[in-house]
Chain A
């Protein structure tokens, strides 16, 4: 199985800050990498697919990058509604998707 590891596991930041979350794959996954946001008590929501393509309706302050084994999710200027947990997910192995353990973004 392809293992996905996110860092950090938690992060404190203030509104207006720029934050970067990293996701590493245990083997190369090209750009078969998706990012999701999950607010407390809610289902996950797709933010980015194919490592860098923003889902329709997602604010442009979100961006994704990387390929191979290292990926990033960047939020350029945090808004109050962005405080949530973020997950990466690989879709390289269509027989077995795997998620990162999540990064909880909290208000400082």
Chain B
């Protein structure tokens, strides 16, 4: 049973950066694609980007230049770093395993979420 456990809540100043971690257990992390999704307070889900085992990363255009997704396969941990933080980046950030089979993809399981608050 794959589980994803994320790092704890963060409070950041505008203009700074945040790095959220997502540690996997119960499976073969080296084969995983990990996706990051965020949810602003009271709002819907927004896809940010993902990291694939061999093909690297792809990011939503909205976050290009501000987001970096990496993975340390030796510790089964993925990271999402967002720079140039502004108040609108206050949100819960989720990681999820991006599962693929016969050209279909879905997100399962999800981490528990990490609240990032951007405030001066």
A interface with B by C-beta (< 8 Å): 31-32, 34, 36, 43-46, 49-50, 55, 87, 89, 91, 94-102
A-B contact pairs, 28 of them (CB 8 A): A31-B104, A32-B104, A32-B105, A34-B106, A34-B107, A43-B94, A43-B110, A43-B111, A43-B112, A43-B113, A44-B37, A46-B106, A46-B107, A49-B106, A50-B104, A55-B108, A87-B45, A89-B107, A91-B105, A91-B106, A94-B105, A96-B47, A96-B60, A97-B35, A98-B47, A99-B45, A99-B46, A100-B44
B104 touches which one: A91, A97, A100 (CB < 8 A)?
A91
How long is the Cα–Cα vector from A98 to B46 in the complex, in angstroms? 7
B interface with A by C-beta (< 8 Å): 35, 37, 44-47, 58, 60-61, 94, 96, 103-113
How long is the Cα–Cα vector from A87 to B94 in the complex, in angstroms? 15
User: Shortest beta-carbon distance, B21 to chain A, in Å?
Assistant: 16
**Interface of chain B, helix or strand or loop or mixed?**
strand
* Chain B residues whose CB sits within 8 angstroms of the CB of A55 once the complex forms: 108
How long is the Cα–Cα vector from A87 to B106 in the complex, in angstroms? 13
- Nearest 5 A-B pairs (CB), nearest first? A49-B106, A46-B108, A43-B110, A91-B105, A97-B47
How long is the Cα–Cα vector from A89 to B112 in the complex, in angstroms? 19
How long is the Cα–Cα vector from A43 to B95 in the complex, in angstroms? 10
* Chain B residues whose CB sits within 8 angstroms of the CB of A87 once the complex forms: 44-45
How long is the Cα–Cα vector from A94 to B61 in the complex, in angstroms? 13
Candidate in A36, A43, A89 with the most chain B CB atoms within 10 angstroms: A43
